[in-house]
Structure 1
């Protein structure tokens, strides 16, 4: 597992399958906070708030890419809200 200290804002997060998951906004409390996703109407998805991934899901950091240990479709089931509860 890579160190979270190697991860910086703006890095791309991808699943183990290489499918994009999001962009790093920050590291907080051992979790990766993703930049909220904008919709075509200009509003952020999920009410304009960030989602998080536990740092334990990070398999490696290669260049400007954070690769998770789970495929993107599985990782999206494991994302969390700021309070640590599963995301909707």
Structure 2
């Protein structure tokens, strides 16, 4: 697991395959909270939710990018959803 202190607000999160998964909102304990902006939502923004993933999925932090050890599709299946 990468050092979570390296993960900062507004960093891009990508899967091992380079596909964009979201943007960091903040670190919450051992989990990373993503912004609602990348969440599926209606035309007026309704339905957007925060998603969390375990910090153990992080393979590396480089520049402004958090790269996960799982592909985007596999990582998205592991996300927890919150309002």
TM-score by length of 1: 0.83
Corresponding residue for residue 22 of structure 1: 22
1:7 aligns to what? 7
- Corresponding residue number in structure 1 for 2:45: 43
Structure 2: give runs of 5+ residues left out of the alignment: none
Task: Write out aligned runs for 1:55-74 (5 A).
Answer: 55-74=55-74
Report the alpha carbon displacement of residue 56 of structure 1 after superposing the two structures with TM.
Answer: 0.3
Shift in Å, 1:42: 2.7
Which is richer in strand?
A: 2
Count of paired positions: 80
Identify which range, 20-29 or 73-82, moves more after superposition: 73-82
How far the C-alpha of 1:37 sits from its partner, in A, is: 2.7
> For each residue in 1:1-29, what CA deviation from the matched residue of structure 2 results, as whole angstroms up to 9, or x when unmatched?
32010000000000000000000000002
Q: What TM-score, normalized to structure 2?
A: 0.87
Deviations 1:10-53 (A, max 9, x none): 00000000000000000002100000036461315xx3321101
